[in-house]
Every structure is written in C-alpha cells, then in structure tokens.
Amino acid sequence: MKNKSLLLKIIFLILGVLLVCSSVRPVLAKPKNKNTDYSAQISQMQTQLNNLKEKLDKTIKMVNGLSGKVSRLDKSDAAPVNYSKQISQLDSTLHVLQTVTASLSNDVVRLQRQVNQNAQRASYTDSINFEILSQLIILENRIVSLGSSLSETKTLSNSEPSEKPTVTKRSYRDRYLQALTMHQGGNNEGAISLFRQLLNEDQYHELADNAQYWIGECFYSMKQYRRAIVEFEKVFAFKNSNKEDDAQFKLGLCYAALGERDKAIDEFQRLIDYYPQSEFVTNAKQFVK
C-alpha cells in the first residue's frame, strides 16, 4: 500500500509538471505589432522572461524530486516484481520531462538574447533621435541667439546712456555694443577680449552679467563647448541676472553637442525646474520626455 500510495503521488506530480510545461509555451509569443515601441517590447519581453524563469525553476525542482522518488522506488526491497514495468514507464516519463526542461532552458537563453538585442537597438535608436533633435535645436538656437544679440544692440542703441563718456574713454555701453557687434560679425576672439576688459573694469555694471553670458556664446559659436560651459556657469554668480535661463539652456546644448546625453538631460531638467516661465522650456522638454 505504501508503494502504491507513493506511485499515485508520483503520477500526480507528473501531471502537475506537464501542466506547468503546457502553460509555458504561450508566454514565448512575440509581440504581433512590429511597430510597438522598443521600450514597451523590452518591458513585455522582460516580464515574459521572468515568468519563464520562475516556471523553469519549478519544473527543475519537480524533475529532481521525481528522479529521486523513482530511484528510491527502484531500489526498494519492498517493491513487488510487477512494479518493474511501472518504474520503467516512470523512467521514460522522467526522460521526457528532462528533455522538456532542457528545451525550456534553451527558450530562456533565446529570449534573454532577444531582450538584450532589443535593448541595444532601443538604446541606439534613442541615441540617434537625441542626436538629430540636438542638431535641430542647435540650429534653431543659433537663429535665436543672433536675434537676441541684434535686439539687444537695437535696444541699447536707442536708449539714453546712464553714464557720460570721457574724452579719452568710450562708455562701458559703447564698448559692450562694439563687442556684441564683433560677435555678430564672427570675430569671436576679439569680442571675448573686449568683453573680458569690461568685466575686469567693472563686474558690477548693469551689463556685466550680459558680457559674461556673451563670452560663453562666443566660445559656443567657435564650438569650444568645454570652455563655453565654464563661461556659462559664471553667469549664475551675478545677482538677479536676466541671462540665467539663457545660460542654463546653453549648458544643456553644450553637453548635447559633446554627446554627453545624461548631463545634457540633467541641465535641461534644471531649466524646467528652476525657470518654468522661460521661453526655452518647450525645447528643453523635448530632450527629457
């Protein structure tokens, strides 16, 4: 009776294993929609993979348990002779289950490889999209920067000077406009030199923060992005500068131009967080969405 009870348990165990195996195959179905976003595919496949691994672990445990019970039943002195045929059948079933387990293991490896490939493809696609977006925004920003400098030149030219120039020295504002005009004409090195002279002369002047910002713009125009980053960072040292959001946005563009995507996104996120009313927020959001 004891061996008969054990045999019944083994049979039920086999049925349980077969049910587990039969429930595994549908999990491996690939997404039907080829246009599904890579990120969604990876998430779906990772869930499938986790479920498959869990069921595989259960199957392996069942197979190991079944193997041990068959072995003990085969060696038992109390086992009647007429059990030998049943033991042989159990051995055959165990072999089938082991084959199924091996197949499941192969499925796990295959699915993991597919997940990795799609992850790489998604990363590559995101990188390409980010690069294209960066180039578009950079081109657009060149126009915006030029328009900003021209507008500033017009405003200062039409306004009354707050200081009277001496006979031997031109006013701060006139030299600032001269440097700005140099930048607009592509003479960035000359503009940088003159802007620095103004800062050394009076860093508390109302146009000093703007002079510092345009130094960053000059280096940016020359594609010296590392130096531009250093100069844009200095803008935040000026109290109540009207160029802070401009400088913050340009920091993101500098890192984007350098291919440092994570840093670029961090800078764009700071713009969104600290300067929500800025005209540059709309473009910044395109990078962090």
pTM for this entry: 0.56
- Within the chain, which residue ranges are assigned CATH 1.25.40.10? 130-288
Please tell us whether the domain made up of 130-288 is placed in CATH 3.10.20.310: no
CA 55 to chain centre: 32
Give the other-Cβ count within 10 Å of 99's Cβ: 10
> What phi and psi values does residue 224 have, to the nearest 5 degrees?
-95, 75
Confidence of residue 150 (pLDDT cuts 50, 70, 90): confident
CATH architecture of 2-126: Up-down Bundle (1.20)
d(CA 212, CA 203): 9
104 has a pLDDT exceeding 60 = yes
Q: How far apart are CA 218 and CA 142, in angstroms?
A: 11
42: CB partners within 8 A, 6+ apart: 115, 118, 119, 122
- All CATH 1.20.58 domain ranges of the chain, comma separated, are 2-126
Residue 39: pLDDT above 70? no
pLDDT tens profile 201-253: 999 999 999 999 999 999 999 999 999 999 999 999 999 999 999 999 999 99
Tell me the per-residue pLDDT of 225-238, one tens digit each, with 9 for 90 and over.
999 999 999 999 99
Band the pLDDT of 103: cuts 50, 70, 90.
Answer: low
Predicted local confidence at residue 172, as pLDDT: 95
Q: Is the pLDDT of residue 33 over 70?
A: no
Q: How far is CA 7 from the centre of its chain?
A: 56
